[in-house]
Amino acid sequence: MKSLNTPFLGANDDEATFNGWLVAAGSRVEAGMLVATVETTKAVLDVEAEYDGILHPLVERGARVVPGQPLAILAGEPIDDLQAALAALSAEADANIPFEVRVTKKAEILMRRHGIVLEQLGADTSVVDEAAVSQFVEQRAVNERRLGIGHLQRVGVIGGVGGGGAMIVIDSLLRSYSQQPVCVFERDKVWHGRTVLGVPVIGSLEALSGMLEREELDAVVIAFNRDLGERASLFERLTGEGVPFCNVIDARADLRSLVTVGNGNVILANVYLGAGTRVGDNNFISANVFLEHGNQLGNANAFGPGVFTSGNVTIGDRVRFATGIFVEPGITIGDGAVIASGSVLTVDVPASTTVKAGRRAVARATASTQENRYES
Amino acid sequence: MNTESYLDSIRRGLRGAMESDERVYLIGEDLLDPYGGAFKVSKGLSTEFPKRVLTTPISESAITGLATGMAIRGLRPVVEIMFGDFLTLCTDQLVNSATKFPLMYRDKVRVPLVLRTPMGGGRGYGPTHSQSIEKMFLGVPGLTVVSPSLAHDPGTLLKRTILESERPVLWVEYKSLYPKQLLNGGDELRIWQVEGEDGYPLAVVENFSGSDPDVVVIAYGGASVPLFESMRRLIPEEIRVRGLLPSRLDTRTKTPWWFSEITGREPIIVAEHGTRGFTWGSEIAAELNLTFFGRLVAPVRRLADADNVVPAGRGLEREVLLNEEQLIKAIVESIT
Amino acid sequence: MILIRYVEQSLLRLYAQGLMGGTVHTCIGQEGCAVGVVSAIDRQRDMLFSNHRGHGHYLAYCGDIHGLIAEIMGLPIGVCGGMGGSQHIQRENFYTNGIQGAGVPIAVGMGLAERFKGTGAVSLAFLGDGTFGEGAVYEAMNLAALWSAPTLFVVEHNGYAQSTPSSLQHAGDLSRRAEPFGIPVTRTEGADVIAVFEVANRLLGQIRAGKGPRLLFLDTHRFAPHSKGDDFRDREELERINRECDPIQRLAAQIGADTYEQVRKAAEIEVDIVLQELGVQ
């Protein structure tokens, strides 16, 4: 039993019209006999029997057919159930394909990139796909970080790979006696699969809830500090969802008496917080920042290196300090203010104001059209 | 659902233009019924519009000049040049007259001329009937070059071009596309159009949904056939390809408007027919480097036909022309 | 004619003074062809496709000295805003192109378009004898005859293509080139403006009556170089044609010395005023 298939139709056509049988159904044909024709846009093509046998048609005149499609079954004996015969033929063809695990091209690329061999995946299905490899990579990364040091708080770092924030936070975590970095969540997929100081960048925050559920992670901290609005809203959202945050305080930071620190803050090396200073939530304080006694910090502020405030300075929310700034005692700085590098603040700064450095610094409102002029 | 072939679509566009505007004339060799043009594009039109389908002697230069004269005097002639290779014979008229008049006479003279021609290989016609030479016309000021792919609606675009353009348009149809069905979103490739400021849409085609692509391939016209084939074949391999197919080949605008569809975060491949040097693709690659400097994850890759004549023999021809195997190889390499 | 001569002479002077760039192709000696033919057309509807030597055709068509000189000087107040210069001039139904022979099929197409529209307009293509070297001319003549285009081909046969005499360029008889296409040829002396006008008038009438294209073959002489500095013709020969074949001298004889002098003065004043306006006098 063999099938008689539609011939190759030429390069211009993917399809043809079947012109009907030249011999009656059920008649006996011989190999080489012209039994039908198919018509393309360019030509009429002959269909010849390839074997001797009784012709059992599968298509009728006018049908649209594609190359390789069975047109009829040729068999030594009459067939009762044509569909069953056809199924048997196709099963026979399939049986000739040896069984093996199919690895998709994407999975193969990822395996090569992460140095994984097929056996490690313990594949129990016939297809290894991207999802299987990605899951293995994440699992392995997390496992490797946890090995043997399970009593330390396991911290996930959010964002900041491109800007370097993640690196300085991880650098601090690596010197910590109570915490360890486990992974970095990064939206920008360019970084996926890479590492920061040996800590794997595993992908977006979608993986976070699963990791918390499986108790692979204890807390997170945000490492990016460019967009303070986004830093604030992300903190708010995740806290609302019950995601635990932690402070990352460098071992060499100096926090004096009666200093209180909220949650989700990053405080790097050589930071000095004078007695009685209160730090809110989600602030990012770079190395060598000096905040004297009694300073009051709100939330989601960012300090570049070398910001010096005198005593009793009040700082609102989402204030950005660039680098190398001096603030006189008792000054109040409003929400969303931006203080340029090299500024010396001698008077209060209203909310949403940009202070530029210079002898007669001009503070320009960013949120309103109001223009303020400041001596600094 | 649209199951029109590329050829039918073009014919519908021509017919539509002739029907809605009496100033539209078809001019070219062997256009009359029953033959209806070398590729049957004008079949039926000379019967329906006997006075406005003009069959000509083998005089590509004079045909183009005549049509230019007609266009200057308010008609909307559509010239068919039987094979794109013969554009060399029209080049003087196109470069030195038709495109020059509106510019040097400061739009006092309008030349609404559409020059249609079948381009490219794949059919074994050999070295002088299979080339892709549209690149020779891409830097000509005042000339719009259009080459829709299988992912566009070429008929509607052609009709609008004939009825609305006020300056010469070189309209390139890849003959390998003629018998193919237009892409209509009915199979595993997703497709949508992005309208641009110049009226010539960008078609976006994806072989995945719900996430970001691994690779972006930029192509036009006849390269859409191997591109879509490679995209289909890469679906089971989970390699996500986004195809960007402009319908107009604009290399004079510094940053083409459709660059807004590109982030630079995925590797980019520019694929086209025609020999590799000094092409639309090289210009696009250069502009991508300027526009996305510092943001590209990898250098822009380029694929084109071999630097050779297009042989007649089918096997030899396949070796010279851009094909799906080359595309698949390049796509996989770009993310490995 | 006198005006054209004076404008061309002024242009040569301005060119020598470095007041214009590019090149200037003058038609000194061929004014009779331009004026004779263009006087016969219907300026409202007929179309002229001129060539690289088109100042005379243009002035005969519309007399726009100011627009022409300003254009050749590359000024924004030129008839094409300084974009075109000497060889690319366009106004109303007057077109030019600097490519040899390219305008011939375009003129045929323009004529056909007007025939399809039923306006009764005729198109004119001006070409020189040198242009017969271009294939486009023959393709266009074939189509014009085949489709009965309302086109008058005007050949100004001055015997030279730039610096090369016709005898070194063309085999056979140029005046009979169009006949095998079925295009009747009328040959006449270009220096006799009245004769040119009469013949052109008759041919345009035939074309307008639907009899198909015609070719007017004018024997003429170019007194000045093709462009600056490329004239190597025999001095004695030049002197002879200047003496015997000057269309303006012939016209002067026909209209009388007094009238000629009046016209000459008027032309001179008109051109001088324009040159003064343009600040080059």
Is B251 found in the same domain as B157? no
> In this structure, is residue B55 part of a structural domain?
yes
Amino acid making up residue C149? A
Chain C contact for B150, CB < 8 A?
A: no
Buried b (16+ CB within 10 A) or exposed e, B28-54: bbebbeeebbbbebbbebbeebeebbb
Whether residues B139 and B200 share a domain: the answer is no
CA angle A318, A322, A325 (to 5 degrees): 110
Dist. CA A285–CA A268, nearest whole Å: 6
> Looking at the domain assignment, is residue A207 inside a domain?
yes
User: Is B205 found in the same domain as B144?
Assistant: no
**B162 and B210 fall within a common domain:** no
Residues in chain B where the model's pLDDT stays below 50: 1
Written as one string, the DSSP assignment of A217-281 is --EEEE---S-HHHHHHHHHHHHHTT--B--EE-TT-EE-TT-EE-SS-EE-TT-EE-TT-EE-S
Chain B residue numbers with beta carbons less than 8 Å from the beta carbon of C105 are 61-66, 68-69, 93
CA distance B184 to C164: 62
Is residue A155, in this structure, part of any structural domain at all?
Answer: yes
Nearest CA in chain A to B266: A190
CATH number of the domain residue A292 falls in: 2.160.10.10
Q: Which of B62, B96, B97 sits opposite C143 (nearest CB)?
A: B62
A78 and A163 part of one domain: no
**Residues paired with residue B55 on neighbouring β-strands, in sequence order:** B28
B12 and B100 assigned to the same domain: yes
Contact flag A12-B179 (C-beta cutoff 8 Å): yes
CB A343 within 8 A of CB A325: yes
pLDDT, residue A151, reads: 63
Contact A129 B124 (CB under 8 A): no
User: How high is the pLDDT of residue A162?
Assistant: 87
- Rounded Cα distance between C262 and A303, Å, is 93
CB contacts < 8 A, A to B, total: 36
Residue A361 lies in domain: 248-373
Residues A216 and A252 in one domain: no
State the Cα–Cα distance between residues A357 and A367, nearest whole angstrom: 19
Residues A344 and A257 in one domain: yes
- Measured CA to CA, the distance from residue C183 to residue C154 in angstroms comes to 12
Are residue A61 and residue A105 in the same domain, yes or no? no
Nearest CA to A57 out of A71, A43, A46, A68 is that of A71
Q: Helix, strand, or coil here: C151?
A: strand
Distance CA(A34)–CA(A17), nearest Å, equals: 17
Are both A316 and A335 inside the same structural domain?
yes
Residues B129 and B202 in one domain: no
Do B64 and B116 share a domain, yes or no? Answer: yes
Position B1 scores a pLDDT of: 47
Tell me if B46 sits within 8 A of B31, measured CB to CB.
yes
CATH of residue A83's domain is: 2.40.50.100
Q: Are residues B119 and B261 both part of a single domain?
A: no
Nearest Cβ partner for B332 among A12, A105, A113: A105
Q: Judge contact between A285 and A303, C-beta under 8 A.
A: yes
| Chain B: closest CA distance from residue C90 (Å) | 7
Whether B265 and A190 lie within 8 Å, measured CB to CB: yes
Q: Are residues B122 and B236 in the same domain?
A: no
In contact, A104 and A81? CB cutoff 8 Å = no
Please check whether residues A143 and A160 belong to one and the same domain: no
For C205-254, how does the pLDDT look when each residue is reduced to its tens digit (9 = 90+)?
999 999 999 999 999 998 887 776 677 788 888 888 888 889 999 999 99
Which candidate from B54, B74, B104 shows the least CB-CB separation from C83? B104
The answer to whether residues B35 and B168 belong to one domain is yes
> Which residues of chain C register pLDDT less than 50?
none
Q: Dihedral through CA B54, CA B60, CA B63, CA B64, nearest 10?
A: 130
The answer to whether residue B126 sits within a structural domain is yes
Q: How far is it, in rounded angstroms, from Cα B239 to Cα B243?
A: 13
Q: Which residue has the tokens 């394909």?
A: A97
B182 in a structural domain: no
Integer Cα distance of C260 and B80 in angstroms: 55
Indicate the pairing of strand B190-194 with strand A2-5. unpaired
Are A64 and A16 contacting, i.e. CB atoms less than 8 angstroms apart? yes
| A41 domain-assigned | yes
Point out the residue among C47, C98, C108 whose CB comes nearest to the CB of B66: C108
Looking at chain B, how many residues does it have?
A: 336
Cα three-residue angle A175-A180-A183, rounded to 5 degrees: 125
Query: Mind giving me the DSSP string for A302-344?
Result: EE-SSEEE-TT-EE-SS-EE-SSEEE-TT-EE-TT-EE-TT-E
Instruction: Tell me how close the Cα of C103 comes to any Cα of chain B, in angstroms.
Output: 8
A327 shares a domain with A263: yes
Q: Is A129's CB within 8 Å of B238's CB?
A: yes
Please answer whether residues B84 and B119 qualify as being in contact, where contact means their C-beta atoms are separated by less than 8 angstroms.
yes
Query: For residues B243 and B217, is the Cβ–Cβ distance under 8 A?
Result: yes
Residue A189: CATH number of its domain: 3.40.50.720
B314 in A contact zone (CB under 8 Å): yes
Query: Residue B243: which CATH number?
Result: 3.40.50.920
Nearest 5°: phi and psi at A353?
A: -115, 140
C114 within 8 A of B69, measured Cβ to Cβ: no
B262 and B308 part of one domain: yes
A230 domain residue, yes or no: no
Phi then psi for residue C8, to 5 deg, are -65, -40
| List of chain A residues whose C-beta atoms are within 8 Å of the C-beta of residue B212 | 189
Tokens describing residue C55: 């100042």
Interface test with B, best of C110, C119, C181 (most B CBs within 10 A): C110
Smallest CA-to-CA distance from A300 within A277, A321, A284, A322 is with A284
In a domain, A202, yes or no: yes
The closest CB to that of A189, out of B212, B236, B238, belongs to B212
B95 touches chain C (CB under 8 A): no
Residues from chain C that touch B69, judged by Cβ atoms under 8 A, are: 49, 105-113, 123
Chain C within 8 Å of B142 (Cβ-Cβ)?
A: no
Is B236 close to A104, i.e. CB distance below 8 A?
yes
Q: Touching check for B79 and chain C: CB below 8 Å?
A: no
> Is B302 a domain residue?
yes
Among candidate residues B151, B177, B203, the one where a domain is terminated? B177
**Is there a contact between B69 and C108 if contact means CB atoms under 8 Å apart?**
yes
Tokens of B281: 């693709």
Extract the residue ranges of chain A whose pLDDT is less than 50.
148-150, 359-376
Q: Which domain holds residue B43?
A: 6-177
| pTM for the predicted model, two decimal places | 0.70
Asked if B65 lies within 8 A of C81 by C-beta distance, the reply is: no
E strand spans, chain C: 47-49, 94-95, 123-128, 151-157, 160-161, 164-165, 185-189, 214-219
Contact at CB, C106 and B75, closer than 8 angstroms: no
Assess whether A139 and A160 both reside in one domain: no
Indicate contact of C with A: 3+ CB pairs under 8 A: no
**Which residue's entry shows tokens 């009779």?**
C32
Domain end among A74, A95, A116: A95
Cβ–Cβ of B101/C95 closer than 8 Å?
yes
- Whole-number pLDDT of residue A293: 95
Q: A122 and A161: one domain?
A: no
Residue B195 maps to a domain:
yes
Nearest to A356 by CA among A372, A369, A339: A339
Measured from the Cβ of residue B127, the count of other Cβ atoms closer than 10 Å reads 15
Interface touch B67/C109, C-beta < 8 Å: yes
Neighbours of chain C (3+ CB pairs under 8 A): B
| Distance (Å, whole) CA B305 – CA B310 | 9
In a shared domain, residues A85 and A120: no
Distance CA C227, CA C12 (A): 9
Shortest CA gap A217–chain B (Å): 26
A369 and A253 within one domain: yes
Q: Is B212 an interface residue toward A (CB < 8 Å)?
A: yes
Q: Which of B75, B93, B103 sits opposite C102 (nearest CB)?
A: B93
What residues in B contact C117, CB-CB < 8 Å?
A: 73-75
Q: How many domains does chain B have?
A: 2
Residues of B with Cβ-Cβ distance to C135 under 8 angstroms: 61
> What is the rounded distance in angstroms from the CA atom of residue C244 to the CA atom of residue B64?
43
pLDDT single digits (tens) C55-81: 999 999 999 999 999 999 989 999 999
> Is A238 within the bounds of a domain?
no
Q: What residue of C is the nearest CA neighbor of B63?
A: C105
Cα–Cα distance for residue pair C155/C107, rounded to 1 Å = 14
Domain boundary pick from B154, B177, B200: B177
Closest by alpha carbon to A53, among A33, A82, A68? Answer: A33
CB atoms near residue C188 (< 10 Å)? 17
Nearest Cα residue in chain C from B98: C106
CATH number of domain containing B72: 3.40.50.970
Tell whether A367 lies on the interface with B, counting CB pairs under 8 A.
no
Q: Is residue B257 part of a domain?
A: yes
Alpha-carbon distance A113 to nearest alpha carbon in chain B (angstroms): 8
CA distance B86 to chain C (A): 15
Q: Which of B29, B104, B107, B109 to mutate to test the interface with C (most CBs of C within 10 A)?
A: B104
Question: Roughly how many angstroms between the first and final C-alpha of chain A, as a whole number?
Answer: 97
The pair of three-digit structure tokens given for residue B273, joined into one six-digit string: 């027919």
User: Is the minimum CB–CB distance between B236 and chain A shorter than 8 Å?
Assistant: yes
B71 found inside a domain: yes
Residue B185 included in any domain: no
Q: Which residues does chain B have within 8 Å of residue C77's beta carbon, measured at their own beta carbons?
A: none
Compute the mean pLDDT over every residue in chain B, rounded to the nearest whole number: 94
Burial (CB count within 10 angstroms: exposed 0-12, middle 13-18, buried 19+), residue A11:
middle
Is residue B294 domain-shared with residue B213, that is, in the same domain? yes
Per-position b or e across C148-179, b if 16+ CB within 10 A of its CB: bbbbbbbbbbbbbbeeeebeeeeeeebbebbe
Residue A301's SS3 state is coil
Same domain, residue pair A85 and A184: no
Q: How many Cα neighbours within 13 Å face the side chain of B286?
A: 11
In a domain, A62, yes or no: yes
Question: What is the domain count for chain A?
Answer: 4
Q: How far is CA A353 from the centre of its chain?
A: 35
The SS3 of residue C166 is helix
Nearest by CB to B97, which of C99, C112, C135? Answer: C99
What does the alpha-carbon distance between residue B120 and residue B174 come to, in Å, rounded to a whole number?
6
